[in-house]
Amino acid sequence: MCGIFGVLSNKPVVSKIIQGLHKLEYRGYDSSGISLVVDQKIQTIRAKGKLINLKKKLSNKNIDGTLGIGHTRWATHGIPSTNNAHPHNSANVSIVHNGIIENYSYLKKELLKKGYEFKSETDSEVIAHLIDLNLKNSSHEQALKKTLTRLEGAFAIAILFKDQNFLVGARKGSPLAIGISDKSFYLGSDSIALSPFTQKIIYMEEGDSVFIYKDKFNIYDAKFKKVNRKLSMSSFSDSVSDKGNFDHFMQKEIFEQPNIISNSLSRFLDPINKKISIPELKIEWKKLKRIDLIACGTSFYASQIATYWFENYLGIPSSAHLASEYRYKRAKKSSESLSIFISQSGETADTLAALRHSKQNKNIILSLVNNRESSIARESNFYLTIEAGPEIGVASTKAFTAQLSILSCLCLVIGRDLGVINQSKEKRLTESLIEIPSNMSGILDIRDEIKKLSKTIYKAKSVLYLGRGHCYPLAMEGALKLKEISYIHAEGYASGEMKHGPIALVDEKLPIVFIAPKNDLFEKNISNMKEVLARGGKVLLITDNLGINSIDDKSIKTLVLPDVNQFVQPIIFSLPIQLLAYYSAVFKKTDVDQPRNLAKSVTVE
């Protein structure tokens, strides 16, 4: 992986390819490159590092063409280097590839025996040579078909042929979209890459391939039968991918959250009658006996928080599962089980694979995504969009709180239908949801206080985050945010587990962040905090006004948030842990929006 961009036009395309690759930078990358067809020859330029290095190389080359492909690479097979950067070429072919070819070792041995030379350590290079081999006795269409049937794993591919003026794409398990404008056609990994050039997009479906010519394109399905696919109008505006007056996209996205949550909730919330309704979900909730939530990373922690809601408010047995492990469990087949798959991109490879596994068990499939045209949304029985808008920063912020807000709405809808949440309780909980945006704005107003507190963290070698109940997953999310963007080792634990091991780490150099709003578990959290203080630990307590009034130790550092219903505490308490991580990374001068080794959309398993 990580980003593909291609264009066929009646004008030179180098500047367009570079612009498209810039739009893909948010996905993370370690090298980049482009290929052009010029006078029936393929010209390829590649560079390690940031796009500026590729642009410098291009400035020294007087080349351009009307047909080209580009790629930003995030290493999977082979170290970051110019040789391993895409595109990869064979005698007559140039390709860029996202995904992993699982049988590349076998294919490589076969191709070596046939005289092909490999110049990289990547799995992707076998695709170029295999297409070239199949071209010797076949048409371009047949060569592609033969090649695709040999590839095992996930891929999105864009292809050039040196003696042809057409652009080819194919996908299986990794996203690829076609962009259409008056005088150009495009291929891109997502709508963000295509947004500067067109709003007209066709999202290729699983197994599709496409041949794009000057004035038309032909799409083929997995059986290589010619098909038509739906044309969508992208709602993504190119201006959304601008930082505006903020220093980083992550900062911008943190500050967008009051508006995002307000807009997201407004679809389901009746502020006059204090009721939630989700009419698009035609599910018989009374038949529901189990809820499983499946996700990766930050979305997994949102899933864990939701299990507390579903069990405590609904009484329905609920479990959160890592998508990468879920397929290895033999779940009971049941139409009375709801499986909720959560993915910001809607293309997360592990989550998509887990969804396909779950469909075999006849479970009801509901997905939460940020892209209604994504693979996960299309393959679900039902889907809800979180309406967070494009999230450019690699570390998820607004998508996390938007996911939680939708899951909380889902809890209320199910509870009312089951009769376990009465009208009075629903009104009270709905009011707490209505107040989320204003409470978030209040937290953003004390950002300077949070920034000051982050100075006690950013020089540490390790940090512990502790919480109980629904704040336990939030502790793990806080630790994840810190390690993602500041590169500080951090771990999140249930407060009650501290004495079962982590307390051995406590000394005067270890910052320990307690996430402890005033609720039924507050006193137990304070007991754990006292244990840390007794051993010389450095405590940062994140609590609320009710909680701070119960604290008599003035030596600890505190951050006081507004008092809210405990139903929405995980949403409200998300903001300070995001800001702590953000300011720590700023003080450390790391790459906040594109932290090392991380990709925004993880489309390989």
Residue numbers annotated as active site: 2, 600
What is the sign of the dihedral through the CA atoms of 467, 468, 471 and 472? Answer: positive
Contact 543, 551 (CB under 8 A): yes
Contact 471, 440 (CB under 8 A): no
Q: Which helix (H) or strand (E) holds 178?
A: strand 177-180
For 28: left if phi > 0, alpha if psi spans -120 to 50, otherwise beta; the answer is left
What is the length of the chain? 605
The full DSSP string for 45-108 is: EEEESSHHHHHHHHHTS----SEEEEEEE--SSS-SSTTTSSPEE-SSEEEEEEEEETTHHHHH
Nearest residue to 41 via CA among 219, 146, 161: 161
Q: How many CB atoms lie within 10 A of CB 256?
A: 18
Q: Angle 268-272-273 (CA atoms, 0-180°, nearest 5)?
A: 75
SS (H, E, C) 199-267: CEEEECCCCCEEEECCCCEEEECCCCCEECCCEEECCCCHHHHCCCCCCCHHHHHHHCHHHHHHHHHHC
Nearest residue to 344 via CA among 26, 602, 76, 605: 602
Separation of alpha carbons 321 and 160, rounded Å: 41
Residue 531, classified by CB atoms within 10 Å of its CB into exposed (0-12), middle (13-18) or buried (19+), is middle
Contact 326, 365 (CB under 8 A): no
Contact 553, 424 (CB under 8 A): no
SS (H, E, C) 491-519: EEEEHHHHHHCHHHHCCCCCEEEEECCCC
For 431: left if phi > 0, alpha if psi spans -120 to 50, otherwise beta; the answer is alpha
Cβ contacts of 598 within 8 Å, gap of 6 or more: 28, 394, 484
